[in-house]
A = this chain, B = another copy of it.
Amino acid sequence: SLVILCHKLQESMLSSASSFRNYRGVLNWCVVMLVLSNARLFLENLLRYGILVDPIQVVSLFLKDPYSWPAACLVIGILGVCIDVHVLGSISEKVGLLIYIFNLTVILCFPMVVVLKLPSITPVGGAFTLGVYTILFLKLYSYKDVNRWCRVRTQVKARSLSRSLSCPSSPSASSCMQSHVSYPGNLSLRDMYYFVFAPTLCYELNFPRSESIRMGFLLRRLFEMVGNCTLLYSVKPVFILQEMDYSRMTERLLRLAVPNHLIWLIFFYCFFHSSMNFVAELLRFGDREFYRDWWNSETITYFWQNWNIPVHKWCLRHFYKPLLRRGAGKLLSQSAVFFASAFFHEYLVSVPLRMFRLWAFMGMMAQLPLAWFVAKFLRGNYGNAAVWLSLIIGQPIAVLMYVHDYYVTHCQDDPTITEAL
């Protein structure tokens, strides 16, 4: 009877009705196809240039003539600036807050002014510098908040302790961990610099730490970083800008969209997976959730909440929830977060290009009606396809706008660049 019966009622695995969702192999397929279709260029680049950026050469070049590398100077300069902030304690809360506000404003404005005034800084160098300063800004903001929360808590504890002296301070669940640090003990240079280099934007007194540094893991991430950088050089977006007529715009957009999207994906993997995991492994930083499964997102909102976890966590902890605690409405707080995000996008793009066009800002703002539309009308795989389309098509529209404007302002009279484009 068992031999004679051999069918049972079930759906195909690829049907949306089936609950099967394991497509790890498809991801591997994408990697194999990407490497294979660029194999010739990839091998050529690797053979010709070796590891793309020779670190010793860069350092020696920098040491010889540091002032022709202003972007790098700015990045290194900042590390000294932020020491002053941990000497709080002997001054009052209000004075400390003022110093913080001054410091944070300087961190945000100083590089902007330098990038705008120094013409020797390239757009890429400028964007990199501003990115580093923005990260530092967010980190210091979190550092200030958490230390303030700690002070408030110790004050509350001290008050409740004076009321009932018989009961000793109850040990919290986390205090049973080995080498657990509590409030004033964390104010050290060592602790602060660990936070500055750790791949997170949210300060915490006791970060979860991994057991040990796995050399195999470290080497694989390093190999991925080198491989991805080599791959990036073989994916070249096609910018055809000579005659910018709007009739052939659609075709051009598509020709730009796919390489641009591939570059973004490779950048995502290289930065959010390889580099961050590399740094985390080096620092034995335990929390490796730098992104969640945004590739499955069926709404625009889910994508924005999951593709960049460090920033999302920071926004939630230091912007959205404090706003809610102060009595702001949910919709108002959400819009405020989006507004701040749009501001930083614009800051990171406009300043290095020295063009204020608000394309990035508008691109971020356009996400709001789009999110509403997708959530309202599309479900499941169709919603997911819509999110992918908005990524593939939406991004290059903004990029095309900036490239077009940059071309018009900078290169129109220069025949050599026109030809190169």
* A interface residues (Cβ-Cβ under 8 A, vs B): 1, 3-15, 20-33, 36-37, 39-40, 146, 149-150, 153, 172, 174, 200, 202, 204-208, 210, 251, 254, 257-258, 269, 273, 276-277, 286-297, 313, 317, 321, 381, 384-385, 388-389, 392
Closest chain B residue to A183, Cβ basis: B4
> Judging by beta carbons under 8 Å apart, are A4 and B146 in contact?
yes
Copies in the complex: 2
Q: Are A25 and B258 in contact (CB under 8 A)?
A: no
**Distance A21 CA – B19 CA, assembled complex (angstroms):** 13
Are A205 and B4 closer than 8 Å at their CB atoms? yes
Query: Are A392 and B36 in contact, with the CB atoms below 8 A?
Result: yes
Asked whether B23 lies within 8 Å of A295 as measured between CB atoms, the reply is yes
Q: What residues on B are CB-neighbors of A1 within 8 Å? A: 153, 172, 174
The answer on a CB contact under 8 Å between A22 and B296 is yes
Residues A388 and B254 in contact in the complex (CB < 8 Å), given A23-B295, A290-B12, A292-B13: no
Contacts of A150 in B (CB 8 A): 4
C-alpha spacing A293/B23, complex, angstroms: 8
Q: Name the CB-closest residue of B to A383.
A: B28
Please give the distance in Å from A201's CB to the nearest CB on chain B.
10
The answer on a CB contact under 8 Å between A208 and B4 is no
Query: Chain B nearest CB: distance from A272 CB in Å?
Result: 8
Q: Is the CB of B7 within 8 A of A286?
A: yes
Give Cα A287 to B288, complex, Å: 42
Chain B residues near A15 (CB-CB < 8 A): 273, 277, 288
The 5 A-B pairs at the shortest CB distance, nearest first, are namely A25-B295, A23-B23, A7-B287, A25-B296, A9-B286
A296: chain B residues at CB < 8 Å are 22-25
Q: Assess the A287–B8 pair: CB atoms within 8 A.
A: yes
Q: Which chain B positions have C-beta within 8 A of A32?
A: 385, 388-389, 392
Q: Are A4 and B385 in contact (CB under 8 A)?
A: no
Minimum CB–CB distance from A306 to chain B (whole Å) comes to 10
Whether B277 contacts A33 by the Cβ 8 Å rule is: no
Whole-angstrom distance between the alpha carbons of A5 and B288 in the complex?
15
Instruction: Given A6-B202, A204-B4, A289-B12, check contact A22 B23 (CB 8 Å).
Output: yes
A10 touches B288 (CB 8 A): yes
Judge whether A10 and B205 touch: CB under 8 Å. no
Residues of B within 8 A of A207 (CB): 7
CA distance A25 to B273 in the complex (A): 18
Is there contact, CB below 8 Å, between A287 and B40?
A: no
Closest Cβ–Cβ distance, residue A274 to chain B (whole Å): 10
- Identity of the chain B residue whose Cβ is nearest the Cβ of A306 in the assembled complex: B13
Please state if A13 and B317 are interface contacts (CB–CB under 8 Å): no
* A20 neighbours in B (Cβ, 8 Å): 293
In contact, B13 and A23 (Cβ under 8 angstroms): no
26 sampled A-B residue pairs with Cβ under 8 A: A4-B146, A4-B150, A4-B204, A4-B205, A7-B287, A8-B286, A9-B286, A10-B289, A11-B288, A12-B273, A12-B290, A13-B292, A14-B291, A15-B277, A22-B23, A23-B26, A25-B296, A25-B297, A25-B384, A26-B26, A26-B27, A29-B388, A30-B30, A33-B392, A36-B389, A39-B254
